[in-house]
Amino acid sequence: MKLYYAPASSYSQRVLIALYEKEANFTPISVNLFDPQAREEYMQINFFTKVPTLVTEKGNVLFEANIIIEYLDQKFHNTSSRLIPLDTEEAIEVRMLERMIDVYINNGREALFADTQRQSEEQGKKEVIKAKRLLETALTMLDEKLANRTWLGGEEFSLADCAAAPTLAYLRMVYNYKHFSNLTNYVRRLEKRPSVKRVFNDGREQMTQMLSELKYPLALQPLDVEVGVRN
Ligand SMILES: N[C@@H](CCC(=O)N[C@@H](CS)C(=O)NCC(=O)O)C(=O)O
């Protein structure tokens, strides 16, 4: 199995977390999408030029982080951890939570991030306010669920947690969610998990550099230090 990825890419990180949870053997191939030639070559593998891409042992090419994780969960179904529960209701909830993270939290994060790169008089437009409202609705829902759960789907680490880890870590650069206490405690647990720690350590350098090169530079925010976060 080959994984084409970028260390700082949140969607790549979702898949890497799943691979480490499954203790799967794979060949990592880091792709530099900022290099025009590398981009051109990678387009032969993934027409959308997005990371991650998994090439299976049979040579099938899989796009989309969730689909790759679903494949890994079925392929390595004998391992102790099921990233998508076997129970139908639990599985559907895990998938629903992942969608909420992708659609409302990640989109909200992207809208707030884009806003930081605008002149102040251009910031806070209607679309950004709307995206922030949806983001906060999703965070409220997750916070309520986490009142009596260890992980998002319950007591087992799942696909939803693979999605939440990078999304919530990067969200802190542009939105301080410390007032959601259950969520904050959950993120603390999440970031201590060995698979997540490993992925974040490997991605930190590339992300730090990318953020420092922005027009209006940003920085990764540790969970327990509150500096320079604009809400
Ligand atoms: N829906 C895709 C999203 C993948 C994605 O957006 N990847 C980003 C990095 S996090 C990317 O490759 N961006 C490069 C580009 O758009 O040129 C998935 O779930 O895998």
Ligand 1, atom 14: nearest CA belongs to which residue? 50
Tokens of 49: 């030029």
The number of domains in the chain is 2
Partners of 129 in the beta sheet? none
Q: Are residues 106 and 169 in the same domain?
A: yes
Q: Which domain holds residue 51?
A: 2-75
Q: What is the pTM (predicted TM-score) of this model?
A: 0.95
pLDDT at 144: 98
pLDDT per position as a tens digit, 140-157: 999 999 999 999 999 999
pLDDT at 226: 52
Atom of ligand 1 nearest to the CA of 10: 10
What spacing in Å lies between the alpha carbon of 104 and ligand 1's midpoint?
16
Q: Are residues 60 and 106 in the same domain?
A: no
Residue 151 lies in a domain: yes
Residue 63 lies in a domain: yes
Q: Are residues 95 and 163 in the same domain?
A: yes
pLDDT per position as a tens digit, 104-124: 999 999 999 999 999 999 999
Q: Which helix (H) or strand (E) holds 157?
A: none
Partners of 30 in the beta sheet? 5
Average pLDDT over residues 94-110: 98
Q: Are residues 8 and 101 in the same domain?
A: no
Residue 222 lies in a domain: no
Kindly state if the Cβ of 33 falls inside 6 Å of ligand 1. yes
Q: How far apart are CA 137 and CA 41, in angstroms?
A: 41
What spacing in Å lies between the alpha carbon of 94 and ligand 1's midpoint?
21
Q: Are residues 132 and 175 in the same domain?
A: yes
Q: Are residues 162 and 59 in the same domain?
A: no
What spacing in Å lies between the alpha carbon of 13 and ligand 1's midpoint?
11
Q: Are residues 23 and 100 in the same domain?
A: no
Q: Amino acid identity, residue 171?
A: L
pLDDT at 101: 98
Q: Are residues 157 and 109 in the same domain?
A: yes
pLDDT at 79: 65
Atom of ligand 1 nearest to the CA of 9: 10
Residue 83 lies in a domain: no
Residue 61 lies in a domain: yes
- Residue 225 pLDDT class (50, 70, 90 cuts): low
Q: Are residues 20 and 100 in the same domain?
A: no
We report the CATH number of the domain holding residue 17 as 3.40.30.10
pLDDT per position as a tens digit, 172-194: 999 999 999 999 999 999 999 99
Atom of ligand 1 nearest to the CA of 67: 19
pLDDT of 230 above 80: no
**What torsion do the CA atoms of 142, 200, 103, 73 make, to the nearest 10 degrees?**
-90
Ligand 1, atom 11: nearest CA belongs to which residue? 50
Question: Which of the listed residues 54, 75, 96 is the one where a domain comes to its end?
Answer: 75
